[in-house]
Amino acid sequence: MKKLLFLFLIMLTCSITIAQTYTSQYTGVQIDNGITKAIQAGGALAANKTVNLTSAMTAATIQDSINAQPKNLGSYILVFQFADGTYNLNAALTFSLFYNGIIYIQGNVTEAVTKHTNQAVILNFTGDGLILSDVIALCYCKWLKISITTGTGIYLTGCNHVQVLYSYLLGNSTGSGSGLAALHTNHLFFRECYFSNLQNCVFAAYSPLVFSLSNSVTGTTPAIGLAADQGTTIAKYDATQPAATTPEQATHGGVIR
């Protein structure tokens, strides 16, 4: 009898634990025992949508525009369209928790689909640039010139599949900063991108599949080209890879092949 009572109390405790929830720092997002569920009063996206952003907007205003969008994309496409211009931003732009659809974060769509350095959209950041956090939706970042003084140009954490295309990522010193960084991200594919004046062109850790196709350095040669850490595999699709001072660095079980 005592054993049965003990088991009942354990089951009751587990049931109570499972039912516990709390609201995270993200507006309208509920966390159930570490599992993030995007629950918004606005519901899911009801059609393809474009959010227009201009260089007259502050980082805070742009962030408000990002945060105002439903997290559930409803199988539709959500485009964050940067108009031509130079954006001097005093804070990173964070895209988080989007799922069930496709996201485009892009500059001028008429530009070349090859490497170039004259992108019409220039995003200047004092720290990190674009942060993609727990984005389960398929995400494309295209036709952007991103300049950082410290931190990372495009930082991915907990994402599913992200493609970075036809962009130019440059830093302020070969002693710090990464053009792209991926942590705990399932897939990163980057193609036809330039990198300049960075410690790492690309750094990835705890990320199973990273693919590089036709990427190069320009201007000040970065210290490290491809850096695979903590079991990450970086696959080179072709021979055109960032020719940094140290082209490849694999540590802690990382593989570059």
* Mean pLDDT (whole number) for 219-232: 98
Would you state the pLDDT for residue 32?
A: 35
Q: Token pair of 123, please?
A: 């995003």
- The answer to whether residue 159 scores a pLDDT higher than 60 is yes
Would you state the pLDDT for residue 169?
A: 98
Contact 71, 94 (CB under 8 A): no
Would you state the pLDDT for residue 42?
A: 52
* Mean pLDDT (whole number) for 207-234: 97
The owner of tokens 């988080």 is 96
- The answer to whether residue 41 scores a pLDDT higher than 70 is no
- The answer to whether residue 48 scores a pLDDT higher than 70 is yes
Contact 166, 192 (CB under 8 A): yes
Q: Which amino acid is at 184?
A: H
The owner of tokens 């830093």 is 171
- In this structure, of 2-6, 129-133, 193-197, 251-255, the range with the lowest mean pLDDT score is 2-6
Measured distance CA(237)–CA(204) in Å, rounded: 17
User: DSSP secondary structure string, 49-71?
Assistant: EEEEE-TTS-HHHHHHHHHTS-S
Strand partners, 255: 233
- The answer to whether residue 36 scores a pLDDT higher than 90 is no
Give kind and range of the element (H or E) at residue 19: helix 2-19
- The answer to whether residue 116 scores a pLDDT higher than 50 is yes
CA distances from 11 to 8, 32, 33, 76, 227 (A): 5, 18, 16, 41, 46
* Mean pLDDT (whole number) for 3-13: 37
| Three-state DSSP class for residue 92 | coil
- The answer to whether residue 58 scores a pLDDT higher than 90 is yes
Cα pseudo-dihedral 95, 101, 105, 111, rounded to 10: 170
* Mean pLDDT (whole number) for 110-139: 98
Read off φ and ψ for residue 11, nearest 5 degrees: -65, -40
- The answer to whether residue 24 scores a pLDDT higher than 80 is no
If one counts every other C-beta atom within 10 angstroms of the C-beta of residue 168, the result is 23
Contact 244, 218 (CB under 8 A): no
Would you state the pLDDT for residue 76?
A: 98
| Three-state DSSP class for residue 14 | helix
- The answer to whether residue 29 scores a pLDDT higher than 90 is no
If one counts every other C-beta atom within 10 angstroms of the C-beta of residue 161, the result is 16
Strand partners, 190: 164, 212
* Mean pLDDT (whole number) for 231-249: 98
Measured distance CA(130)–CA(41) in Å, rounded: 26
Q: Which has the closest alpha carbon to 203: 152, 257, 138?
A: 152
Mean pLDDT score across all residues of the chain? 87
Of the two residues 194 and 35, the one the predictor is more confident about is 194
Q: What percent of the chain has pLDDT over 70?
A: 84
